[in-house]
Structure 1
Amino acid sequence: MRNKAKKGVLLVQLGTPNSPAKSDVKRYLTQFLMDPRVMDIPYISRSLLVKGIIVPKRSGNSAATYASIWDNEAGSPLMTYSLYQQEKLQEVLGEEYHVELAMRYQNPSIENALSKMEGMLLESLTVIPLFPQYASATTGSVIDKVMEIMRTWQFIPKINFVSSYYDDPLMIEVIAEHALKHDLASFDHFLFSYHGLPVRQLGKVHANAEVKCPDFGCDQCRTEANPYCYLSHCYATTKAITEKLNLPKDKFTVCFQSRLGKTPWIQPYTSDTLHKLAESGAKRILVFSPAFVADCIETIDEIQVEYANEFKDLGGEEVHMVESLNRNPKWIEALRRMVIANNN
């Protein structure tokens, strides 16, 4: 029977190893870090650094970390939540749409997901990278890969890329709703921890080449000055959440995690911020991670284990985490609205 779907939807997450085995983790890290949009340095230098130093050094520890969060049946939490989001979005969109999930790195691959839709002769394809804030290393890489693959198609449908949704009202509502599961008054401080980027990558997308980071006005959320500035998007997301929760400005800090190498990355770093809070006498911290739409190794291990232990070693008591969007039906509705808005 011919597929009834007339419109396609492709959800794309960052990726996950096929298993926590060291060989699979090495394969994942190599593909991820060899992406020129992630490591934006010349190929030879990138290859020597990634394959000769970073992956051999990190793969063992990363494999152990993945093993600690892995479900033998469901796999990684990121995969579990992403498959759920795909399934529920398909349900609410109905048979007019065909929804596929892909990982930018490893499986299910973008190539395989698109190959399933190529022969459907769809009227349109809506691509939603599952990164609320635009960055060349995440959303940009997804768009680049999709265009690379689809340029070989004989029939190319209308393509809609949802490049950012950093202040989507329903997404903000879900994050606030999850935060209110905690007793907010019991925390000394709130951290909004976003995935880090090298500072040099910010300047590459600024419309005014003469303006150099950190002079973009990001802390004033001037996203209209440059709609593709990741840092401005992060501040805008934070502003929307803190206003929703009525958090005082002196009670929260925007910071960045997961830096790599010795080049300057966006600051302040989450780890350094926790150190300063512990030194100031803070005991209980609540962390938001609005750069992620599903809990993953960065939220489950890096924040709730690594950073939490650091904080306790310095005299702090507790680091709690606001649950990501995960299985919240309002998040599924937010995705549905994005698809519909891009098909009208």
Structure 2
Amino acid sequence: MAGSLFQHSYFIVNVINAMLYGMALLLYCQTVTQILEIRKSERTSMDKFMMGFVTVLLVLNTIYWSTQAYFGEMMWITHADYPGGADAYVSAYSSVWYQTWGTTASVMSNLMSDALLTYRCFVIWNSKRIIVVPGIIWLASLAFGVGLLYESGRPNGDYFGGIAATFVTAYTASTFAFNVLVTSLICGRIIFVGRSMRAYGAADTKVYTGAVAVIVESALPFTIFSVAYLITFAMGSDVAYAFSFYAMFTFISPLMIASRVLSRRAWTRKSGMLFTTTISYRGQTDYVSDPEVPMEFLNKKSTELDMGRKSPSGIASTPTKAKSVAVDLEVFPA
């Protein structure tokens, strides 16, 4: 892969990656601030895990972004007089050690992000069976990732040609299939639960089932942008590299999930209890006291029914004692 279109694509993606990396740093700082604002006694194991997880992703994406930028500097500035020009330099040094290092960081970041998404799918569905197929696809992505790293990193290897390119296509296709499947499962579940809860007359559940929840919990941006990269790369178009910025979302998407976890807005295995609500005819809803419960829900008033409204027969209904209506996520069809 070489030529004017590739040069333009490489330059454009470096600019986009720089902007996305800056955005990611801001999100990371926000995440750090969030966890520092939580008292040590109130920090859950998931809080600590997510903080460590996104920190590792920060290191990996820093490696990926910096190696890509450095290769561009070597190609266009330091070795601007290389015999044959930039195209010849790309062909000769595409397997240089730091490029392989950056590619490895990108693959590791992608696999970690997909593993987190698998766990989120399990949490939202509360079923191990639902993640069997995604787990198999993830293992296939791991195998293809190792293959592309070996073939592109060996002497005279070429990320854009030969067996390495075949592994790249297979790896990208498997990660794309994984994300489409898991994204669909998560989006479908959230939308279904949201509609079911509203049908039961439960409290406002937009924190868990709104548009933001759908986009963040399912890592939707990563899935959308990876489609463009896969299609153009499979077609052999040089413009594919311009869409490789999708790799930065392997860091941004987990950061957004971590932010929701720390702000107590993300789904947890206990969040099903949030939807087990008591609709009181006389007062507020009693919610479970749990550190993972958003403050919006703790302060949320229950739905007060008009006990004086008339029944279909025209007779006013008689006030009764407070009743409880339990709505549990586990009773919904999986």
Normalising by structure 2, we get a TM-score of 0.25
More helix by share: 2
Q: Which has the greater radius of gyration?
A: 2
Normalising by structure 1, we get a TM-score of 0.25
